[in-house]
Structure 1
């Protein structure tokens, strides 16, 4: 395997996950990241890792790093819920997820902090991640590919993996007809410390819930608490990891869904304070609990998000450049499958590449087999997320009244425990 060199463009979750697996299998792996240092840019907060994501991490990470992932993930001892409510937090419906007091059932979803998980996966790869390496283009041949960087340098590898996110320059070059579509909604993400003056910002009836509150005029508000099972600083030290955990305190992750026409022009260039003011205006007629999340936010962590939907390639050439994650199948956050699908990509590609030695397959077979397998599950999740986002945008007045007024009113008589003061 040392004869096959792999260059990964992008040191996000999927790129690092793949690198660990290939490095353990004996491949020559290098990772090229455009950011000048690991945690300079906000890339989201709490994510939900399902059975596919957990299986991918277990398959790819060294055992002590997988233990660290489990240790810092949210506790699983209580049942958890996904609730859809109106703007006053009146419940429309909920989905229930059984708890696992033992924490041993790896099919039970975990909530993890994205930056903490990334720090975990940087461990052991310090000398293989090269920062400040912005990819400009790739040149492919029958036996490899050359990556060109903005600093004038270039490298050649047997295989290049494009894990460089939704704005991937490699996808734009090699799959020019697959530029993702904008959805009709954009978002603002934020973070607020869970405890304020010793009290939790999340009411007790919602402490193990993810909540999506549907508001008027196409607005929506999602929130959930990120509680660490073990404080990252303690867990990192206990398991001998040299990375410094970027986050140590429990927090509330929240996101606002807005029709994109309600954003100012050039919204991606808005500063955190301007976004914070926009967020406060957007939730002025939501429940006071929702308003408190925004009022007590860590302003520096407020960021804009464009929700985009990938296009499946009509023809997918087998070349020495392959893609993973948002670079090829970006999807809206509804459904919480984006990160899991990216991790699943990493595990699948690792399987196919390792089969070259184990089963005597060719690199071309591995690339083709990966692309065929990934496209089946990934674009199914893209469509599911797209459909769910449309369902959260209720435009029919009668349906809106039934969903957001009549149903919560009727449920209030049978679900007094959910009354939020």
Structure 2
């Protein structure tokens, strides 16, 4: 679309998480009138650590926000997988580090810092809190949204970035429910001083045992913290299961004793407990004036660490499509055509999880590599 056409666009983004914040920044750079509508009444520091991959960071350079993200993250050289007792199974440099004009290492960041940094680079009057979407209608040349507070808006383009339980997806594209993975994830951020010597550098490590339990250690040394994640098999598909300290400690039987000590000392009030879900690939992401983006389009399991990265790369892909196409409908078709094969494959790979005895099954015919090596770059 022509620059003048892009500057005349009104764009409403439903959801202020990874996907919505990234899309707002990228599309604002086009000159469009972009507004984000988030149902939370305030932005809180929630969640744990994530790894931002080189393709994502290269987009941040293009958008002029790399330095802001670098200030609240740590560069990481490699990912290591270990047995429960700490024997190395594989250790490999993050892929993509040398793919760009400047060396670009994966960076480890807290989700709260990520969202806060994005919101700081957006005009304050473009982010609207306390707006829970109830209805959406594609009217052909525009779309209309109704919110629980009684307000309604129209926009030339509406982006559904409202997560795995997306209302936009359910009302317009698919009423299929999220799919339970048979796993739970228990997450917390602790002080590096409470990590019993396991925070030694800025590299992500995962311990796994033969029972399917995985422990992820993601250092946040710029915060002097550690993001600690235990993922285990479970038949309980409630969204927020309740567990006990004794249960968690029992999961650490056979693991490095230091992991047992960390687990025994956790503040249970700060622990996030959730059943792990993804969604089956959605056949169609868009109509004439509405598109899905991020988890709303392709929520995937966390085993490949790709959820946030693919949401951000969606934002880049949608921005490119709007520049290249001659209309919004053709841009949305191009966006889906470009991004969907990538995310479909990552959804498939992420469902394979990890198994200490089946590494070669995940990487047939090639040298075992870190989880990041499976990423399909866009």
**194, 199, 204: which one aligns with 1:210:** 204
Q: CA deviation at 1:255?
A: 1.2
DSSP-derived class of the 2:185 partner: strand
Partners of 1:192 and 1:296 within 8 A in 2: no
Unaligned regions of 5+ residues in structure 1, if any?
229-248, 400-421
Q: What pairs with 1:240-251 in structure 2 (closer than 5 Å)?
A: 249-251=223-225
* Correspondence for 2:306: 337
Q: CA deviation at 1:170?
A: 1.1
Separation (CA, whole Å) in 2 of partners of 1:97 and 1:364: 37
Pair 1:125-2:123 in alignment: yes
**41, 57, 60: which one aligns with 1:57:** 60
Unaligned regions of 5+ residues in structure 2, if any?
1-5, 362-378
**TM-score normalised according to structure 1 size:** 0.76
Distance 1:315 1:118, change over 3 A: closer
Pair 1:353-2:305 in alignment: no
Pair 1:9-2:14 in alignment: yes
Distance 1:355 1:36, change over 3 A: same
**21, 26, 29: which one aligns with 1:21:** 26
Separation (CA, whole Å) in 2 of partners of 1:95 and 1:146: 48
* Correspondence for 1:151: 149
**TM-score normalised according to structure 2 size:** 0.84
Distance 1:365 1:99, change over 3 A: closer
* Correspondence for 2:276: 307
Q: CA-to-partner distance for each residue in 1:160-191, whole Å, 9 max, x for gaps?
A: 10111111111111222543321121211122
* Correspondence for 1:392: 355
* Correspondence for 1:33: 38
Larger Rg: 1
Partners of 1:7 and 1:29 within 8 A in 2: yes
Distance 1:347 1:148, change over 3 A: same
* Correspondence for 2:230: 256
Partners of 1:168 and 1:327 within 8 A in 2: yes
Q: CA deviation at 1:276?
A: 4.8
* Correspondence for 2:366: none
**49, 52, 69: which one aligns with 1:46:** 49
Partners of 1:178 and 1:312 within 8 A in 2: no
* Correspondence for 1:287: 256
Distance 1:67 1:96, change over 3 A: closer
Distance 1:385 1:4, change over 3 A: same
* Correspondence for 2:371: none
Separation (CA, whole Å) in 1 of partners of 2:152 and 2:281: 29
Aligned positions, number: 352
Separation (CA, whole Å) in 2 of partners of 1:53 and 1:59: 10
Partners of 1:276 and 1:302 within 8 A in 2: no
Q: What pairs with 1:64-103 in structure 2 (closer than 5 Å)?
A: 65-75=65-75, 80-97=77-94
Partners of 2:288 and 2:328 within 8 A in 1: no
Separation (CA, whole Å) in 2 of partners of 1:99 and 1:296: 37
Pair 1:374-2:328 in alignment: no
Greater Cα offset, 250-259 or 296-305: 296-305
Q: CA deviation at 1:28?
A: 1.0
Q: CA deviation at 1:343?
A: 0.5
